[in-house]
């Protein structure tokens, strides 16, 4: 069995270990541009030894941002600074990956440290939010606009154009964000999708947007490069998306050529009761891996080297994504190697501290 420090080859890309920087919004962009913050933030985690560094949710259109301060990839001018980041990540042994996202009905909010409040479309910095159906996320927010056929085609086209730019910027992995109650998840879940056309109703109809996005991305993305999808494996709510739905979806995504399912949960139902605890979502990565036969990533409250190692060594998941622990300690992979008695390369500049 492999462990946390076993390399993994997916298509023609090799990850030097199984530790992934989970996507984390930084709310630090102006007009979607990456800047020094993103270079230092992501770059530090490459220097810290992560095998794959994923960017935060990167908006495929301005209206697809969670906040006006989100990172974006909706215009060609965004590419050069992203390229600088991917060049640095690769130079330090990390595979550069990008999470492509559309926030749907959860768009147009202030950043968390400004309260995370809804910004009305007619207010400064606000815009009209879009969704499968006019169902707001919380009662205090107005109804989002239901996407019509042209709106859906624009979303799909935006993912395609973003993929062209991601390729030009030097990313080697794309993760399509279909989790956490954002646009694609809103289509997947019967709680937020009340449509009666071919994008709503049955399971097959609700997954259609995601499959069409996947096809458009694949039309551009080279076959040598891995393509991941992040899902919420359950809505943790009666009548919502379930773990069995996640398995059924994963089987279809596998047959379409998706390489890995990153298994998160929740985010589509305000106030859902989630049994938080160490590794509380790992069971979903394990179920999807075993029942759909696809590579999976585990994420959520994984904070120790031993736990991360066990997840890989016991075959529950193939990659381990860490978010907050890597904010606390960008050098977690180097420290984990020491704890686990694994030999790992340190940056030459830091060798005297090894
Ligand atoms: C600051 C912050 C920003 C986040 N932004 C994103 C994001 O852009 N995309 C995403 O899929 N998840 C996002 N998440 C969720 C994390 O990727 C991860 O799934 C979650 O924090 C659980 O992992 P952890 O317990 O290791 O923090 C974010 C989490 C944090 C703490």
C-alpha 288 – ligand 1 centre gap (Å): 20
* % of the chain exceeding 70 in pLDDT: 100
Give the model's confidence band at 17: pLDDT under 50 very low, under 70 low, under 90 confident, else very high. very high
299 lines ligand 1 (CB under 6 A): yes
Residue nearest (by alpha carbon) to ligand 1 atom 13: 24
194 exposed, middle or buried (CB, 10 Å; 0-12, 13-18, 19+)?
middle
Q: Give the tens place of pLDDT for each residue, 316-344.
A: 999 999 999 999 999 999 999 999 999 99
How are beta strands 260-264 and 227-232 bridged, if at all?
Answer: parallel
Q: Give the ligand 1 atom nearest the CA of 322.
A: 26
Domain 8-353 has CATH 3.20.20.70: yes
Checking if the pLDDT of 297 tops 90, the result is yes
pLDDT score at 178: 99
CA of residue 148 to ligand 1 center, whole Å:
30
Confirm if 67 and 109 have CB atoms less than 8 A apart: yes
Ligand 1 atom 29: the closest Cα is on which residue?
24
pLDDT of residue 122: 96
State the catalytic residues.
182
Which atom of ligand 1 has the smallest separation from the CA of 175?
11
Ligand 1, atom 12: nearest CA belongs to which residue? 23
Cβ-based neighbour number of residue 259 at 10 Å = 18
CA geometry: angle 206, 322, 279, nearest 5 deg: 75
Pocket test for ligand 1, best of 20, 24, 267, 305 (most atoms within 8 A of CB): 24
- Our mutation pick for probing the ligand 1 site, out of 323, 324, 325, counting the most ligand atoms within 8 A of Cβ, is 323
| Amino acid 354: pLDDT | 93
Mean pLDDT of the region 55-66:
98
pLDDT of residue 1: 84
Closest Cα to atom 1 of ligand 1: 24
316 Cβ contact list (under 8 Å, min separation 6): 282, 285, 286, 289, 298, 310
- pLDDT tens digit string along 85-113? 999 999 999 999 999 999 999 999 999 99
Residue 165 near residue 55, CB atoms below 8 Å: no
The per-residue pLDDT for range 117-134, each reduced to its tens digit, is: 999 999 999 999 999 999
Residue 264 CA: nearest ligand 1 atom is: 19
Whether the model pTM is above 0.85: yes
Q: CB–CB of 60/162 below 8 Å?
A: yes
Q: What is the mean pLDDT of the chain?
A: 98
Beta strand 13-15 with 8-10 is antiparallel
Does ligand 1 lie within 6 Å of residue 99's CB atom?
yes
65 lines ligand 1 (CB under 6 A): no
**pLDDT per position as a tens digit, 183-239:** 999 999 999 999 999 999 999 999 999 999 999 999 999 999 999 999 999 999 999
48 CB under 6 A from ligand 1? no
């Amino acid at each position: 069995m492999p462990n946390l420090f076993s390399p993994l080859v997916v298509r023609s890309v090799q990850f030097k270990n199984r530790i992934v920087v989970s996507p984390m919004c930084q709310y630090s962009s102006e007009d979607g541009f990456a800047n020094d913050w993103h270079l230092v933030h992501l770059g530090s985690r490459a220097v810290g030894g992560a095998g794959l560094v994923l960017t935060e949710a990167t908006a495929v259109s301005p209206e697809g941002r969670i906040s006006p301060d989100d990172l974006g990839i909706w215009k060609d001018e965004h590419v050069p600074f992203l390229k600088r980041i991917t060049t640095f990540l690769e130079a330090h042994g990390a595979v550069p990956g990008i999470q492509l996202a559309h926030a749907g009905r959860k768009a147009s909010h202030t950043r968390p440290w400004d309260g995370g409040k809804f910004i009305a479309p007619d207010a400064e910095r606000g815009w009209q939010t879009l969704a499968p159906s006019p169902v707001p996320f919380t009662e205090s927010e107005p109804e989002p606009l239901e996407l019509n056929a042209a709106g859906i085609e624009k979303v799909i086209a935006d993912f395609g154009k973003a993929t062209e730019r991601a390729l030009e910027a030097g990313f080697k992995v794309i993760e399509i964000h279909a989790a956490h109650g954002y646009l694609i998840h809103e289509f997947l879940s019967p709680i937020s999708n009340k449509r009666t056309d071919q994008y709503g109703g049955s399971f097959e109809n609700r997954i259609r947007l995601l499959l069409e996005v996947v096809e458009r991305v694949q039309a551009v993305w080279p076959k040598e490069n891995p393509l991941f999808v992040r899902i919420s494996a359950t809505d943790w709510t009666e009548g919502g998306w379930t773990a069995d739905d996640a398995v059924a979806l994963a089987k279809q995504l596998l047959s379409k050529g998706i390489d890995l399912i990153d298994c998160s949960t929740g985010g589509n139902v305000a106030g859902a009761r989630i049994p938080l605890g160490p590794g509380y979502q790992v069971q979903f990565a394990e179920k999807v891996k075993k029942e759909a036969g696809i590579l999976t990533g585990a994420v959520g409250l994984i904070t120790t080297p031993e736990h991360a190692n066990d997840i890989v060594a016991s075959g529950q998941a193939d990659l381990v994504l860490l978010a907050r622990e890597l904010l606390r300690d960008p050098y977690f992979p180097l420290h984990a190697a020491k704890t686990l008695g694994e030999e790992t390369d340190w940056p030459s500049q830091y060798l005297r501290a090894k």
